[in-house]
Amino acid sequence: GEDVEQSLFLSVREGDSSVINCTYTDSSSTYLYWYKQEPGAGLQLLTYIFSNMDMKQDQRLTVLLNKKDKHLSLRIADTQTGDSAIYFCAERRPGNTDKLIFGTGTRLQVFP
Amino acid sequence: ETGVTQSPTHLIKTRGQQVTLRCSSQSGHNTVSWYQQALGQGPQFIFQYYREEENGRGNFPPRFSGLQFPNYSSELNVNALELDDSALYLCASSKTSAPVAAFGPGTRLTVL
């Protein structure tokens, strides 16, 4: 099916690490993405990973990709209250369009 | 570098009416995609335009149509509006086959 799956909610204490998980659908997807959406706003690209990589680190963000299990994760180190938002993973399948398939989103709540 | 802009920001229509949403691509981008994001869900791909032609479509009925202009800006038209068309409509532009698309802030459409 076309469902990219994410857990709905994650609550963490400020300063801890957050790990948001995603299971995507197509093992031939070329790129996998993480987007952040704050209330009432559009999508902000956080990071992306090419399918031939298994890890990518960008400052506080670490992306892990397990192609065998079609599993993607986003780790946010030293989580801050400003990280509270909805996080979407997305996959891009091979083909002649740039179509992204998004998950349902994980709401991250950071408490002091 | 000018990012993706969308207009209007908000719009209220009634059932059966028609609506046109507009998107200006980021400078240097030649491909435009449109997504519908219903409340509490991830964005769903509507269609993509390249060289002023539709070159990919998601699971949306024909009353969703679009245009791309020579300057790569785009319109999304929705006829015979239904209550379920209420959503945030996101436009994304990219260079063909580039891994990253830039998203606009969205137009929030409410159908009463």
Asked whether the predicted pLDDT for residue A96 surpasses 90, the reply is no
How high is the pLDDT of residue A41?
86
Phi, psi of B39 (to 5 degrees): -60, 125
CA distance B48 to B96: 11
How high is the pLDDT of residue A94?
82
Cβ within 8 Å, pair A95-B56? yes
Phi, psi of B103 (to 5 degrees): -95, 145
CA distance A89 to A35: 6
Q: What is the pLDDT averaged over residues A49-62?
A: 95
Interface test with B, best of A9, A92, A97 (most B CBs within 10 A): A97
Q: What is the pLDDT averaged over residues B103-107?
A: 95
How high is the pLDDT of residue B1?
61
Asked whether the predicted pLDDT for residue A111 surpasses 90, the reply is yes
Interface test with B, best of A35, A43, A46, A106 (most B CBs within 10 A): A43
Q: How many Cβ atoms from other residues are within 10 Å of residue A47's Cβ? A: 17
Do B9 and B107 touch, CB atoms closer than 8 A?
Answer: yes
Considering only the beta carbons, identify the residue of A4, A48, A97 that sits closest to B99: A48
Residues of A in contact with B96 (CB under 8 A): 98
Query: For chain B, how many residues are written?
Result: 112
What pLDDT, in 10s, does the model give residues B32-87?
999 999 999 999 999 999 999 999 999 999 999 999 999 899 999 999 999 999 99
Q: Does A93 touch chain B (CB under 8 A)?
A: no
Q: Does A104 touch chain B (CB under 8 A)?
A: yes
Considering only the beta carbons, identify the residue of B31, B33, B99 that sits closest to A31: B99
Asked whether the predicted pLDDT for residue A1 surpasses 60, the reply is no
pLDDT band at residue A95 using 50, 70 and 90 as cut-offs = confident
